[in-house]
Amino acid sequence: MANSSSTSIRLADAWRNRAISVKAISFALIGAINTVVDYSVFLLARAALKNITASLGLLAAPSSSRGTLLLIAANVVAWLVAVTGSYIMNSSITFAAESGRKLRWRAYAAFVASGVAGLTANTVTLIFGVQVFLLPVWLVKAVAILASFVVNFSLSHFVVFRQSAATYRPAVSA
């Protein structure tokens, strides 16, 4: 119970001091850069995988299953490229105080692991949008990126880059 009370106090203090909103804006700006990377790599990977599988006669599954597998594969490739850039920029800018502006393999692994939830939200949104709602891939991919933003920022702020209780210092109220 004391831990949830401490968390509530920290959240209220962060909100009053706009720390969360400033971080969310920084995270979003970095996310905008990564969106261009993600989207570009996705389109390139999708085209490349489509050409490779067609020319090699791979994926002998039915056309709809093959399309789903290509979407998932292209999405994972795009995510892997984008998540690496995101970790580097967010460690250096958004969460610089928490990370000490140092890149660490352990923190990268935690960032990637937490990003799997964002990747899952992104991929599920993509598949449902295209196959259930029959929307164009380019539109659904944009919505999928937004869904993963919400998941990724929440996990980055509250899990991956959270300050330990030993280093947390609440702001002095006026």
> What are the structure tokens assigned to 67, written together?
């399309």
In this prediction, the residues of the chain whose per-residue pLDDT falls under 50 are 168, 170-174
Amino acid 173: pLDDT: 45
Amino acid 143: pLDDT: 92
Amino acid 154: pLDDT: 87
Q: How many CB atoms lie within 10 A of CB 140?
A: 20
pTM of the entire predicted model: 0.65
Structural contact between residues 133 and 156, judged by C-beta atoms closer than 8 angstroms: no
> What are the structure tokens assigned to 124, written together?
């599920």
In angstroms, the CA 26 to CA 32 distance is 10
In angstroms, the CA 61 to CA 67 distance is 9
Amino acid 12: pLDDT: 64
Structural contact between residues 156 and 95, judged by C-beta atoms closer than 8 angstroms: yes
> What are the structure tokens assigned to 49, written together?
């995988």
The owner of tokens 């933003």 is 149
